[in-house]
Protein backbone atom coordinates (compact mmCIF):
# COMPACT_ATOMS: atom_id res chain seq x y z
CA UNK A 1 0.00 0.00 0.00
CA UNK A 2 1.26 3.46 -0.88
CA UNK A 3 2.23 5.89 1.84
CA UNK A 4 -0.67 8.29 2.36
CA UNK A 5 1.13 10.78 4.57
CA UNK A 6 1.15 14.39 3.42
CA UNK A 7 4.62 15.62 4.41
CA UNK A 8 7.00 12.77 3.59
CA UNK A 9 7.01 9.61 1.52
CA UNK A 10 9.49 6.73 1.14
CA UNK A 11 10.74 5.86 -2.34
CA UNK A 12 12.39 2.78 -3.77
CA UNK A 13 15.31 4.73 -5.24
CA UNK A 14 18.54 2.75 -4.91
CA UNK A 15 21.90 4.09 -6.07
CA UNK A 16 24.46 1.32 -6.60
CA UNK A 17 27.40 3.69 -6.58
CA UNK A 18 30.75 4.16 -4.89
CA UNK A 19 30.18 7.41 -3.00
CA UNK A 20 33.81 7.44 -1.82
CA UNK A 21 34.82 9.36 -4.95
CA UNK A 22 32.22 12.04 -4.24
CA UNK A 23 33.37 12.18 -0.63
CA UNK A 24 37.03 12.62 -1.62
CA UNK A 25 36.24 15.53 -3.95
CA UNK A 26 33.97 17.09 -1.32
CA UNK A 27 36.72 16.92 1.31
CA UNK A 28 39.24 18.42 -1.13
CA UNK A 29 36.87 21.29 -1.93
CA UNK A 30 36.38 22.00 1.78
CA UNK A 31 40.14 21.96 2.27
CA UNK A 32 40.58 24.56 -0.48
CA UNK A 33 37.73 26.58 0.99
CA UNK A 34 39.44 26.66 4.39
CA UNK A 35 42.60 27.89 2.65
CA UNK A 36 40.70 30.88 1.26
CA UNK A 37 40.68 29.79 -2.38
CA UNK A 38 36.98 30.56 -2.95
CA UNK A 39 35.27 33.93 -2.80
CA UNK A 40 32.21 34.01 -0.48
CA UNK A 41 28.99 35.99 -0.78
CA UNK A 42 26.07 36.21 1.65
CA UNK A 43 22.74 34.64 0.62
CA UNK A 44 19.88 36.06 2.68
CA UNK A 45 17.25 33.45 1.77
CA UNK A 46 19.48 30.66 3.11
CA UNK A 47 21.15 32.78 5.83
CA UNK A 48 24.37 31.27 4.48
CA UNK A 49 27.66 32.10 2.86
CA UNK A 50 27.96 30.82 -0.70
CA UNK A 51 31.47 30.00 -1.89
CA UNK A 52 31.70 30.07 -5.68
CA UNK A 53 33.56 27.32 -7.50
CA UNK A 54 32.95 29.34 -10.68
CA UNK A 55 31.67 27.07 -13.47
CA UNK A 56 32.07 24.02 -11.22
CA UNK A 57 29.33 24.98 -8.75
CA UNK A 58 29.31 26.23 -5.17
CA UNK A 59 29.51 25.35 -1.50
CA UNK A 60 26.72 26.67 0.73
CA UNK A 61 28.00 27.12 4.28
CA UNK A 62 25.91 27.89 7.34
CA UNK A 63 26.04 27.74 11.12
CA UNK A 64 22.51 29.00 11.77
CA UNK A 65 20.96 25.52 11.99
CA UNK A 66 23.84 23.56 13.49
CA UNK A 67 26.50 23.93 16.17
CA UNK A 68 29.23 23.71 13.53
CA UNK A 69 29.75 24.73 9.90
CA UNK A 70 27.39 22.82 7.63
CA UNK A 71 28.65 22.63 4.03
CA UNK A 72 26.47 21.63 1.08
CA UNK A 73 28.17 21.04 -2.28
CA UNK A 74 26.16 21.68 -5.48
CA UNK A 75 26.76 22.33 -9.14
CA UNK A 76 28.30 21.07 -12.37
CA UNK A 77 31.27 19.17 -10.91
CA UNK A 78 29.00 17.17 -8.60
CA UNK A 79 26.66 16.40 -11.49
CA UNK A 80 29.63 15.26 -13.60
CA UNK A 81 30.78 12.64 -11.08
CA UNK A 82 27.29 11.28 -10.38
CA UNK A 83 26.12 8.05 -12.09
CA UNK A 84 24.08 8.34 -15.28
CA UNK A 85 20.96 6.96 -13.58
CA UNK A 86 20.81 10.01 -11.33
CA UNK A 87 21.32 12.41 -14.23
CA UNK A 88 18.50 10.67 -16.10
CA UNK A 89 16.22 11.22 -13.11
CA UNK A 90 16.74 14.99 -13.22
CA UNK A 91 15.91 14.96 -16.94
CA UNK A 92 12.71 13.01 -16.25
CA UNK A 93 11.69 15.52 -13.59
CA UNK A 94 12.11 18.41 -16.02
CA UNK A 95 10.26 16.56 -18.79
CA UNK A 96 7.36 16.14 -16.34
CA UNK A 97 7.19 19.92 -15.84
CA UNK A 98 8.63 19.72 -12.35
CA UNK A 99 11.16 22.35 -11.31
CA UNK A 100 14.31 20.33 -10.69
CA UNK A 101 16.80 22.79 -9.16
CA UNK A 102 19.99 20.93 -8.31
CA UNK A 103 21.74 18.01 -6.69
CA UNK A 104 23.45 18.44 -3.34
CA UNK A 105 25.88 16.43 -1.26
CA UNK A 106 26.78 17.00 2.37
CA UNK A 107 28.00 15.45 5.59
CA UNK A 108 26.89 16.72 8.97
CA UNK A 109 27.46 15.80 12.60
CA UNK A 110 24.82 16.23 15.26
CA UNK A 111 21.40 17.81 14.95
CA UNK A 112 19.86 20.16 12.40
CA UNK A 113 17.56 22.71 14.01
CA UNK A 114 13.93 23.29 13.10
CA UNK A 115 13.61 25.31 9.88
CA UNK A 116 11.89 25.73 6.54
CA UNK A 117 14.10 25.78 3.47
CA UNK A 118 14.82 29.23 2.10
CA UNK A 119 13.66 29.85 -1.47
CA UNK A 120 14.88 32.71 -3.65
CA UNK A 121 13.11 31.55 -6.82
CA UNK A 122 9.48 32.25 -7.85
CA UNK A 123 9.18 28.64 -9.03
CA UNK A 124 9.08 27.61 -5.38
CA UNK A 125 6.16 29.85 -4.45
CA UNK A 126 3.59 27.02 -4.65
CA UNK A 127 5.74 24.58 -2.71
CA UNK A 128 9.10 22.83 -2.70
CA UNK A 129 10.61 19.59 -1.52
CA UNK A 130 13.78 17.55 -1.22
CA UNK A 131 14.51 13.95 -1.99
CA UNK A 132 17.09 12.90 0.62
CA UNK A 133 19.07 9.72 0.08
CA UNK A 134 20.93 8.43 3.15
CA UNK A 135 24.38 7.27 2.06
CA UNK A 136 25.65 6.58 5.56
CA UNK A 137 24.62 7.24 9.15
CA UNK A 138 26.44 6.30 12.35
CA UNK A 139 23.44 6.95 14.62
CA UNK A 140 20.87 4.13 14.25
CA UNK A 141 18.29 6.27 16.06
CA UNK A 142 18.65 9.34 13.84
CA UNK A 143 15.30 10.68 12.61
CA UNK A 144 13.88 13.52 10.55
CA UNK A 145 10.76 15.26 11.86
CA UNK A 146 8.20 17.39 10.00
CA UNK A 147 5.40 19.59 11.32
CA UNK A 148 2.82 21.51 9.34
CA UNK A 149 1.79 24.25 11.76
CA UNK A 150 -1.29 25.13 9.65
CA UNK A 151 -2.83 21.66 9.65
CA UNK A 152 -1.21 20.28 12.79
CA UNK A 153 0.13 17.24 10.89
CA UNK A 154 3.29 15.83 12.46
CA UNK A 155 5.40 13.10 10.84
CA UNK A 156 8.83 11.49 11.17
CA UNK A 157 11.07 9.00 9.41
CA UNK A 158 14.35 7.19 10.24
CA UNK A 159 17.78 7.75 8.64
CA UNK A 160 18.02 4.21 7.31
CA UNK A 161 21.11 3.76 5.15
CA UNK A 162 20.31 3.18 1.49
CA UNK A 163 16.85 4.75 1.60
CA UNK A 164 15.50 7.89 -0.06
CA UNK A 165 12.57 9.96 1.19
CA UNK A 166 10.62 12.81 -0.36
CA UNK A 167 10.00 15.51 2.22
CA UNK A 168 8.00 18.72 2.08
CA UNK A 169 10.68 21.34 2.76
CA UNK A 170 8.12 24.18 2.91
CA UNK A 171 7.01 23.08 6.40
CA UNK A 172 8.98 22.98 9.64
CA UNK A 173 11.46 20.11 9.67
CA UNK A 174 14.52 19.14 11.69
CA UNK A 175 16.88 16.24 12.37
CA UNK A 176 17.57 14.56 15.71
CA UNK A 177 20.97 12.95 15.38
CA UNK A 178 24.01 12.23 17.54
CA UNK A 179 26.34 10.83 14.88
CA UNK A 180 27.52 11.53 11.34
CA UNK A 181 25.10 11.53 8.41
CA UNK A 182 26.10 11.54 4.73
CA UNK A 183 23.31 12.71 2.45
CA UNK A 184 22.70 13.04 -1.28
CA UNK A 185 19.89 15.50 -1.98
CA UNK A 186 17.70 16.30 -4.97
CA UNK A 187 16.03 19.70 -4.68
CA UNK A 188 12.75 20.38 -6.52
CA UNK A 189 10.81 23.65 -6.44
CA UNK A 190 7.41 22.03 -6.99
CA UNK A 191 4.68 21.07 -4.48
CA UNK A 192 5.11 17.85 -2.53
CA UNK A 193 1.94 16.29 -3.98
CA UNK A 194 3.15 16.78 -7.56
CA UNK A 195 6.58 15.36 -6.85
CA UNK A 196 5.09 12.38 -5.02
CA UNK A 197 2.77 11.73 -7.98
CA UNK A 198 5.76 11.78 -10.33
CA UNK A 199 7.41 9.05 -8.25
CA UNK A 200 4.19 7.00 -8.28
CA UNK A 201 3.78 7.40 -12.05
CA UNK A 202 7.38 6.27 -12.63
CA UNK A 203 7.17 3.24 -10.30
CA UNK A 204 9.63 4.80 -7.87
CA UNK A 205 7.37 4.24 -4.87
Is pLDDT above 80 for 150?
A: yes
pLDDT digits 0-9 by tens, 88-122: 899 999 999 999 999 999 999 999 999 988 777 77
Residues 6+ apart with CB under 8 A from 54: none
Q: Which CATH architecture describes the domain 8-201?
A: Sandwich (2.60)
Q: Is 194 left (phi over 0), alpha (psi -120 to 50) or beta?
A: alpha
Contact 119, 45 (CB under 8 A): yes
Asked if residue 185 lies in contact with residue 131, where contact means CB atoms within 8 angstroms, the answer is: yes
- Alpha-carbon gap, residue 57 to 142, rounded angstroms: 29
- pLDDT tier for residue 11 given thresholds of 50, 70 and 90: very high
Is 50 exceeded by the pLDDT of residue 3? no
pTM over 0.85: yes
pLDDT tens for residues 40-85?
A: 999 887 789 999 999 999 999 999 899 889 999 999 999 999 988 8
Domain boundaries, the chain: 8-201
In the predicted structure, residue 5 carries a pLDDT above the cut 70: no
Task: Please give the Cα distance from 205 to 192 (Å, whole number).
Answer: 14
Torsion angles phi and psi, residue 166, rounded to 5? -90, 130
Amino acid sequence: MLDTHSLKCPTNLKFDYDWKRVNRIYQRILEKKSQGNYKPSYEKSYDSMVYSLKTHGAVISSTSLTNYEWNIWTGALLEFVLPKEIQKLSKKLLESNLNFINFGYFIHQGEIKKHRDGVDDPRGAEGHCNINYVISSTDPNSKTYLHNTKTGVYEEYPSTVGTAWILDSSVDHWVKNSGTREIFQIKVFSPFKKVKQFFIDNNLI
